Amino acid sequence: MKKTFLTLLAIVALAAVATAQELRYVDAVDLGIHGHTKKSDISPFYRFDHTPYEGFNKTIISYSKEPVGLYVAFKTNSSQISASWEWKPRRMGDNITGILQAGLDLYIKENGKWKFAAVGRVSTLPENNKRTRSLIKNLDEGEKECLLYLPCWCELTKLEIGIDEGATIKGLPSPFRHKVIVHGSSITHGASASRPAMTYPALMSRNLGINFINFGFSGQCKMQPQFLEFLKSCEADAFVFDAFSNPSEKQIVERLENFVAELVKAHPGKPLIFIQSPIDQDSKFDTKKYASRMSLTATAAKMMKRLEKQYKDVYFLAVPDVLGTDGTIDNSHPTDVGFDRFIKAYQPKIAKILKKYGIK
């Protein structure tokens, strides 16, 4: 009996080796990485190169190296898709999933629509920063168009896509039109979606076919001069701003008018769409916090309404209680339920404005 059991184990081991040998891995960089705010010569996985802009703090510099919103578009006739990737170790966030932080998110086009197919799971231990995973097997024959979204909260250093040894794979251009930069707080960055493709810029890209570029920086979007200079230098068809979650009321008063004026000057005729930030749900019970937040929100709204009248290409969108009473993980950051409500409220309004400028 023992000999038989050992023989079975050997057969299973040999089968696993044979399966592994049937795969070949292709560097994702050779297929093409899409979704950058501005490509960096330092790494294809960086959203932008911070070095020409002095004054960014360590957190922003770290976030600039994370592939938030980046994706690989490719076509393959493989019966299976795997991935091998590595990232620099970091502590797991307490309000985000491991898949959002360091995992992968695969979509496959079916009948002209992008459909969720699989994820690349990761361990929650920071030292376990290398993974080789089978994403999906037993795919139908024929070519499939795929989108593989990269992680939102880690510095990726390597990504390879595995396919059948005899299969073909070809990188594709971005399937999304135009370029709309979305600059904002942790909500834009992605907290607390379940996986990378569920952030609201990624959702709007698939829903509208428009290339919404994720330029979110958790806790750091305060209309700083460095961000202003970078955004002035960007080529884009439009801009969307989640600008009022992170700055203090004093910072909004001191910075907003110049921020808008400089961007209008740098991007004449381009729509600049500002969104009212959701109010933290716990602030309704913390009376001091609620009063502070309501004052900040009122100040931002008053200033934006004046700027909206002053500049024909500046817009302000406000939807009260957009996340509902059960749409967050921690009273601030939306779950997938919260992001769904956010999208249903804001996407039609954003799309209507963009359409006026031929962005559709």
Question: What's the pLDDT tens digit per position in 293-332?
Answer: 999 999 999 999 999 999 999 999 999 889 988 999 998 9
Q: Are residues 78 and 92 in the same domain?
A: yes
Q: Quick check: is 247 in a domain?
A: yes
Q: Are residues 210 and 349 in the same domain?
A: yes
For 206-215, the pLDDT digits (tens) are 999 999 999 9
Q: Is the pLDDT assigned to residue 12 strictly greater than 80?
A: no
Q: Quick check: is 14 in a domain?
A: no
| Mean pLDDT (whole number) for 40-64 | 94
Phi-psi bin for 31: left (phi > 0), alpha (psi -120 to 50), beta? Answer: alpha
Closest CA to 341 of 324, 355, 320, 357: 324
> Do residues 38 and 46 touch, judged by C-beta distance below 8 A?
no
> First CA to last CA across the chain, in angstroms?
68
For 213-241, the pLDDT digits (tens) are 999 999 999 999 999 999 999 999 999 99
> What confidence score (pLDDT) does residue 133 get?
95
Q: Quick check: is 7 in a domain?
A: no
User: Residue 149 sits in which domain range?
Assistant: 23-171
Q: Is the pLDDT assigned to residue 3 strictly greater than 70?
A: no
For strand 177-184 and strand 238-242, is the pairing parallel, antiparallel, or unpaired? parallel
Cβ count near 349 (within 10 Å): 15
* 96 CB-near residues (< 8 Å, 6+ apart): 152, 153, 190, 191, 192
Q: Quick check: is 309 in a domain?
A: yes
Q: Quick check: is 334 in a domain?
A: yes
Q: Quick check: is 6 in a domain?
A: no
Residue spans of beta strands (DSSP E) within the chain: 23-27, 33-34, 71-76, 81-87, 104-110, 113-120, 130-136, 144-149, 156-164, 169-171, 177-184, 210-216, 238-242, 272-275, 314-317
> What confidence score (pLDDT) does residue 10 get?
45
Most confident of 50-54, 120-124, 160-164, 288-292: 160-164
Q: Is the pLDDT assigned to residue 2 strictly greater than 90?
A: no
Model confidence at 13, pLDDT cuts 50, 70, 90, reads very low
Give 284's DSSP letter: G
Which tokens go with 78?
């493989």
> Do residues 276 and 318 touch, judged by C-beta distance below 8 A?
yes
Q: Is the pLDDT assigned to residue 123 strictly greater than 80?
A: no
Find the angle CA(326)-CA(215)-CA(82) to the nearest 5 degrees: 80
Q: Are residues 155 and 207 in the same domain?
A: no
181: CATH: 3.40.50.1110
Task: From 122, 150, 171, give the residue that closes a domain.
Answer: 171
154: CATH: 2.60.120.260
* Whole-structure pTM value: 0.93
Q: Quick check: is 267 in a domain?
A: yes
Q: Are residues 164 and 183 in the same domain?
A: no
Q: Is the pLDDT assigned to residue 35 strictly greater than 80?
A: yes
Q: Is 247 helix (H, G, I), strand (E, B) or coil?
A: coil
Q: Are residues 286 and 250 in the same domain?
A: yes
| Total structural domains within the chain | 2
